[in-house]
Amino acid sequence: MNLKEALKIADHIIFDKTGQHLDDLQEAVLKGTLERETYKHIAKEFDCSESNVRQIGSELWQILSEELGEDVNKKNFRSAMERLEVSIYSNVAQEESVQINSVNICAEGRHQPNIPNSRPPNQETSHQDLSEMPELGDFFDRTSSLDTLTTWILQQHSHLITLTGSSGIGKTTLAVQLVQQIKNEFEYTAWYTLDEFPTIDKFQSNLIQLFSNSQKQDSSPTNQKPLPLIKYLQNHRCLIILDDVHNLFCSGELAGKYKPECEEYRTLFKQIEKLSHQSCLMLIGWEQPREVTQVKSQNTSIRSLQLKGLDIAAGRKILIDYGLAESDNIETLIHRYQGNPIWLKSVATLIQELGGCVNQLLPNDTILLPEDLKDVLQQQFSRLSELEKQVISLLAKASDAINLTQLLENSQIPASDLVNALQSLSRRCLIEQQAKFYTISPVLRQYATIILGA
């Protein structure tokens, strides 16, 4: 690392904290440390006592540790500066200033380190664990969702992003495309898909393994104890994707309630939201943590995207690819199945296997529900609370969209419970709201009628 740059960055941090630039002795201590000199040697060079140099050193390490949020000392000062340099290089191109914990390092101005305009981490400096990321198949539409997510991550430096939507709508596919496009902007990129027993230990140890493997490759082996996960996310620019996060939450409850054994994730997510860093965690699933859904303000570091179905052009490509012809009323099918690619694939397969044109022979409002589509819906329905099932039944029985007053009239459910259930169902993307009226899609209506006897 360039000595002058390291001293400039350190000077900037000290100035930010104390309002004073490094004096000659402080600079000599940092310079000597970067050159791997002993305190004794630095003292001799500067013609002062060794205890004086030690004292200055210890004050500097304390300020640097506080400002960088990690333990900085004589042994690791050089590597801390190198890591900081990488973060600055990788971020200064996108913004005029870079926030490293509480320190704002400006790309312009009096204290600007002499930094080239852009140097994103390239293939050599970026480390990835994408073994759990699915392969990308066809990818249609979604330009605006991709743009939104890219802006949130790369320009707004959002810390926590949630991507929700019903099963099969295309969340995972969208995220895979996103990761392919932006992964080289990060030092570390990792994708983990949560199973039914998603202990935080498993997640932490996977990630810490990634960090420690790459650090062994990058430098001499260290025997240091692993840091808490958040420290790694603070020290490096990371993009972490957690898919199927609904596995963190209780079945049979309103959406987004942590299972008791997953409570530690709450703490981690809170740290990721609140603390200063350059990393981003993206949560994908049918549900998101309750505290995330409460945040709508643009001033927070959290962003949420609820994914809707594909547009007509993309839906048409899927249906034609699955062997349907325009005579199969393609556009009606896309509307009816809400552009949900997995629903479209399922119904197209059924029509195709029966020789095509099936829906021309059936009454106009027939909703085909192939068994594999029922399986997809069953997975999401099986998570609903009793209260939500009652509300879905009410909506399925009503021939049209109905408002709160009508819902209350038609049920015995206390008003506050009803409202909570509606909110939860809306977060699960199972109901639709038009102004003050609520309804469910024809496919869900049909399914609810079968399984809930609506």
Ligand X SMILES: Nc1ncnc2c1ncn2[C@@H]1O[C@H](COP(=O)(O)OP(=O)(O)O)[C@@H](O)[C@H]1O
- Interface contacts to ligand X, rule CB under 6 A: 137-142, 165, 167-173, 310, 314, 341-342
Decide whether 32 or 170 has the Cβ nearer to ligand X. 170
End-to-end CA distance of the chain: 69
CB of 142 to ligand X, least distance (A): 5
At residue 432, the 3 state secondary structure works out as strand
CB of 197 to ligand X, least distance (A): 20
The DSSP line for 294-319 is T---TTSSEEEEE-----HHHHHHHH
- Residue 234 interacting with Mg ion (CB under 5 A): no
From ligand X, Mg ion, none, interface partner of 139 (C-beta below 5 to 8 A by class): ligand X
Find out whether 285 and 245 touch, Cβ atoms under 8 Å: yes
From Mg ion, ligand X, none, interface partner of 446 (C-beta below 5 to 8 A by class): none
CB of 165 to ligand X, least distance (A): 5
From Mg ion, ligand X, none, interface partner of 165 (C-beta below 5 to 8 A by class): ligand X
Decide whether 57 or 285 has the Cβ nearer to Mg ion. 285
Decide whether 164 or 329 has the Cβ nearer to Mg ion. 164
CB of 242 to ligand X, least distance (A): 13
From ligand X, Mg ion, none, interface partner of 71 (C-beta below 5 to 8 A by class): none
From Mg ion, ligand X, none, interface partner of 15 (C-beta below 5 to 8 A by class): none
Decide whether 342 or 451 has the Cβ nearer to Mg ion. 342
Q: Which residues contact 429 (CB under 8 A, 6 or more apart)?
A: 164, 165, 166, 169, 286, 306
Q: Which residues contact 12 (CB under 8 A, 6 or more apart)?
A: 103, 105, 111, 113
Decide whether 165 or 289 has the Cβ nearer to Mg ion. 165
By rule CB under 5 A, what count of residues binds Mg ion? 1
Residue nearest to ligand X (CB): 170
User: Which has the closest alpha carbon to 156: 99, 108, 241?
Assistant: 99
- Residue 172 interacting with Mg ion (CB under 5 A): yes
Residue in this structure with the two tokens 């310079």, named with its chain if needed: 31
CB of 431 to ligand X, least distance (A): 18
d(C-alpha 42, C-alpha 25), whole Å: 9
Tokens of residue 159, six digits: 């810390």
From ligand X, Mg ion, none, interface partner of 293 (C-beta below 5 to 8 A by class): none
Distance set, CA 369 to CA 44, 154, 311, 318, 450 (Å): 84, 41, 21, 18, 10
Burial of 355 (0-12, 13-18, 19+ CB in 10 A): exposed
H or E, element range at 127: strand 127-129
CB of 173 to ligand X, least distance (A): 3
Q: Footprint of Mg ion on this chain (CB under 5 A)? A: 172
